Structure 1
Amino acid sequence: MFSPNLIAGAAALLDRFRAAGLKIATAESCTGGLVAGLLTEIPGSSAVVDRGFVVYSNEAKEHMLGVPAETIRTHGAVSEATARAMAEGALEASRADVAVSVTGVAGPDGGTPAKPVGLVHFACARRGAPTVAREVRFGDIGRSNVRLASVRLALELLEAAAAVRL
């Protein structure tokens, strides 16, 4: 399902987390669990992956991760504020040291002029460090391509979090 390069990158990431004694949680909306799916494709990933949250609906974001309803009402489900709340909520609801979140408009529907298809917000929270957020506009490159590009970027954010010295 995943390319050999993506699997190799995920395996290297898990090795770094294992060596550092760190655990990962994922909080995914538009990727529907693909980040967790990629990580758990690697044998031995249970030593690093604590859990994954697929929070496709706003209600799931609120109930499972504690994203404030006001944040979603004010900023929308696809926003930096929601991505940050998702990542931080995943840390709170898990035993992970690092959590990555993904929320976006994968398409082909759902885009607006302000939030077009291909807009994805990411956040990565690490205990004891500031949460990092990122917005990417992949463009209308197709639903599967937006989702896979989002998985790649989520891995990059996890890589950066592993490198943070506390």
Structure 2
Amino acid sequence: MRALAVAGALAMTLCASADASELRGPARFCGYSPIIDLLPGEKITTLEGGIHGGSFRWEGAFGSLNVRGIGWAGRPDGEIVEPPTDTKAGRFAQRKVNGRYEVAIWNGSHGAAYFNSARPLTARQIEAIKRVSLFEEGQTPSDCSLRTVFSWD
């Protein structure tokens, strides 16, 4: 019986740990390079992180997108459909990469993010992507109540 109680407590701990990677809106999320003002009902689930970037899942009324942000990136491949400005990331045309559909954004310098899905991105998903701004390594965006932090641990 004691073993069952220990197993139950361990299972509850593991479930609680999984929830720790979910970040919910409304709030400003700053992670890996993307800055997203999450709307009520939207959430971020962190997936992987590294020295120059990481990945997360962004979910909301628009559906779900896997996002890879890079804080020290070069220009993404493909055709620019909206060039970057001083206040807005440039957006690249949707293309199929490794069997998934992808849209990239780029700040014109070193910040980039790639949004992908198994199906072609919808107009609602493209509109959500247009809300995203970018920062790059060495910059500290302001008003971030939710963020990812690099750690060597």
* Alignment TM class, shorter chain as reference: under 0.3
Name the one with the larger strand percent: 2
Q: Looking at CA atoms only, which structure, 1 or 2, has the larger radius of gyration?
A: 2
Using the size of structure 1 for normalisation, the TM-score is 0.25
Using the size of structure 2 for normalisation, the TM-score is 0.27
